[in-house]
Amino acid sequence: MPTYLMGIYKFPSWVTNAISSAMAQFFWGQTEGRRRIHWRSWASMCELKCLGGLGFKDLDVFNDAFLGRQAWRIMKGDNTLLGKVMKVKYYHRSSFLDAPLGYSPSFSWKGIWSAKALIREGMIWRVGTGADVNVWGNPWIADEEGRFISSSMVDEAQKVQDLIIAGTNT
């Protein structure tokens, strides 16, 4: 499994399909001209073990997870060599999440840039004092209904600190 390359490049679907096909051929294969029995479909074999599958990896999802990890490292550690190079070359005037793709991006930047959606989907603010967190526009609530306020907008409360009672922090 090319896990190192999956953390740097977004593999085209034909590559991940070819790798999955090779895995299936190894698992099912043939013995002396006779085909083995396919007890389960490949999709059910890729299901999680806790859901009754065999836990084989969906390589497209696996690739996206590795690229998301790399994007998170760049976003949180601009002082790393990779973070510094990417910042100077691709988003020197903005943050990583606001970075455009650019006009002639490298293949690795295209892959890492494509993982921004995963980062945004999983991000949530740590409120702290609430001075920087927008009540209506930032994901800051962690409950089963979502990460955003779903009630109607009130003009008096724009930042989370406007909702906190000073002194008691309630």
Could you tell me the residue ranges of all domains in the chain? 1-123, 124-170
SS3 content of the chain, % helix, strand, coil (to 5): 45, 5, 50
Q: How confident is the model at residue 12 (pLDDT cuts 50, 70, 90)?
A: very high
The percent of residues in the chain predicted with pLDDT above 70, rounded, is 96
Structure tokens at 9: 């490049």
Specify the pLDDT at position 119.
87
Mutual orientation of helices 107-114 and 59-76 as an angle, nearest 10°?
90
**Distance between CA atoms of residues 23 and 92, nearest Å:** 42
Q: How confident is the model at residue 66 (pLDDT cuts 50, 70, 90)?
A: very high
Dihedral Cα 58, 62, 68, 71, nearest 10 deg: -140
Encode 138-162: b = buried (16+ Cβ within 10 Å), e = exposed.
Answer: bbbbeeeeeeebeeeeeeeeebbbe
**Distance between CA atoms of residues 80 and 2, nearest Å:** 24
The percent of residues in the chain predicted with pLDDT above 90, rounded, is 15
For the chain, the average pLDDT equals 83
Q: How confident is the model at residue 41 (pLDDT cuts 50, 70, 90)?
A: confident
pLDDT single digits (tens) 49-63: 898 888 888 899 899
**Distance between CA atoms of residues 50 and 24, nearest Å:** 21
In angstroms, how far is CA 155 from the centroid of its own chain?
33
pLDDT single digits (tens) 100-142: 888 889 998 999 999 998 888 888 777 777 788 888 877 887 7
Alpha helices (H) in the chain, listed in sequence order: 3-6, 13-28, 42-45, 59-76, 81-90, 107-114, 116-122
